[in-house]
Structure 1
């Protein structure tokens, strides 16, 4: 990726990047898309683990995991949700996340767009 610059890396398991967020990583409202942020973190944090991994270390295909999410905080414009992916018995935690969900005002031109399920929301009296 041309917009990534490695600043520091070590065999002990750390890495630092500079990464330019451009419009390819934004949603319709012009802010970084949460999915893009998740993939960026996934790729960048995984490189820190590379020097410590062993053969077979990450082979979990076919494993049934339990995903538990907890709302930690809700404010006027932001919420924090913590997620844990573990074995079904809870003895092994495979990964965790913190999801910062931001309420971004929808652009007027996006509010004018309608999809089929909007009729269902309108019928239930939901506010758009």
Structure 2
């Protein structure tokens, strides 16, 4: 994505922090409770991220995402894109601004172009197009790993929402770095 290594590392760490916090919170649920998005969150593998609000993942299209035609179910695409595009907000987050899980979905518009075969890997690429205090829009695409086949695209609109109090209590190593960066920025403006 053409950014200096340090910027790329910061962006990747911001995205990874969302996944780490998600896993901690999921582990605190009763053992018989399985969240709708857990299959996606457990299997997205980060490939790249940028401070511009871009992120790419690989995802194995497991049979859990299939329909009776042995291709990805359209509803599965909604959950997959929701989680993958939301994570693009992590590198642009600030304290009180698009933090953990990036608010709530306002609309998720998916264009299905080609059936996604089960038991293949796909590449999901997302980029924040617009982000303000209350609204954000992210675009994403799901392709073959080599980029030659575009399976579907998405336009995802989000509304900023405060982080739930019990989510704030779960701290991950990124939180300390995140707070240090913002304290340094505030001091540099004085």
TM over 0.5: no
Structure label with greater radius of gyration: 1
TM-score category of the 2 structures, normalised to the smaller one: 0.3 to 0.5
Greater percentage in strand: 1
Greater percentage in helix: 2
Ranked by relative contact order (alpha carbons within 8 Å, sequence separation 6 or more), the top structure is 2
Calculate the TM-score normalised by the size of structure 1.
0.43
